[in-house]
Amino acid sequence: MDEQAPTDRQPWLRISLFDADGQDRDLDEGDIDVGALGEHQLLWVDLQDEDADEGAAEACLERLIEALGLQDGRDALHALNGTPQLLNFGDWFLVAVNAVEGKDKLGFEGRGLAIACGRRFVLSLHRGPLKILDELHQREHGETRLGSLRPENFTASLLDWQVDSYLHAVSDFEEAVDRLEVSVLSSRVYHECLPELARLRRAASRLRRMLAPHRHVYGALARPDFRPGGSDDDEQDPIPAFRTLEKRFERAMDAVENARDLVVGSFELFASRNAQRTNSTMRVLTFVTVLSGVMAVIVGALGMNFTTPLFESGSAGFWATVAGMAVIAAVGIVVARWKNWL
């Protein structure tokens, strides 16, 4: 799809018209005409304003408000601050959520996404690029049947992509935990695992803090009093889609909670591995102490004041004694290795 790239004066604006009875196409801003949209047409306007001049972004949003008939929600649209919320204006509603964007595997950051859903159109607003929307744009090639969707169902689809971003983040998190546990189970345990465990714990807590505030939003969307007028037998009724979305949110919430448990399990594994290493060290020290004690007993016995031919053998007797103790030490080491004491 063609798109207007942001410049110093112009925000990133993508306008797509999905026509189930005709040809899907991209539109210019001046071509927006909500009143001319047919029953099987759906207009999607996507506005990104992070890299654009602030005044130009506000002016573009103001033009879209006028073109789409969103005047009664003007203040709410201009005051979006990334806080999850749901506002109903009768003919249309506004839902604001946060998707996950990561600079690296565990650098989770929230990216605000606001969606205004009205009659035959959907307006999405976000500051900076959103991977989930880029993927959706790239997925749709050629003719689609998206124009047959109600805007509420298309909104539910966009929100499902947002929830999916948390599931992808959890997958990245689980991959990092797996790598750490493999390191912990290696032949040596380094104290560098502790900073990595702390990093994982912070990442898990951040994911939960980002996702948990959405609970009231998805709960409100799924209630039948939010968008009355359909029935469960109507495949275009948005309520079943929102209920499915709420269940998917709960699964994502469970996955994030499980991520925190994974960190606790990794720490217990690290503690057990350290304890095992300590036990192995103490076992070696105990063996060395016993072997040294045996050598000390032999040397002490030889230092007793009694006459024996050994003391009259000179250097030969000395080296014979040393060789005997070496043999005893070697036999002790072989037995210890055989018994897995070392």
CB 114 within 8 A of CB 126: yes
List, for residues 33-58, the tens digit of each pLDDT value.
988 888 888 999 999 876 545 677 78
**Residue 189, pLDDT score:** 58
**Residue 8, pLDDT score:** 46
Pairing of strands 93-102, 108-118: antiparallel
- HSE at residue 263, side-chain half, CA atoms within 13 A, is 19
Query: How far, rounded to the nearest angstrom, does the alpha carbon of residue 136 sit from its chain's CA centroid?
Result: 20
**Residue 6, pLDDT score:** 45
CB 127 within 8 A of CB 50: yes
Pick from 15, 8, 14, 57: which is nearest to 37 by CA?
A: 15
* Burial class for 136, CB neighbours closer than 10 Å (0-12, 13-18, 19+): middle
Question: Which residue positions in the chain have pLDDT lower than 50?
Answer: 1-9, 52, 231-233
Q: How far is the C-alpha of 165 from the C-alpha of 46, rounded, in Å? A: 18
**Residue 101, pLDDT score:** 82
**Residue 237, pLDDT score:** 65
- Residue matched to tokens 């032999």: 298
**Residue 276, pLDDT score:** 78
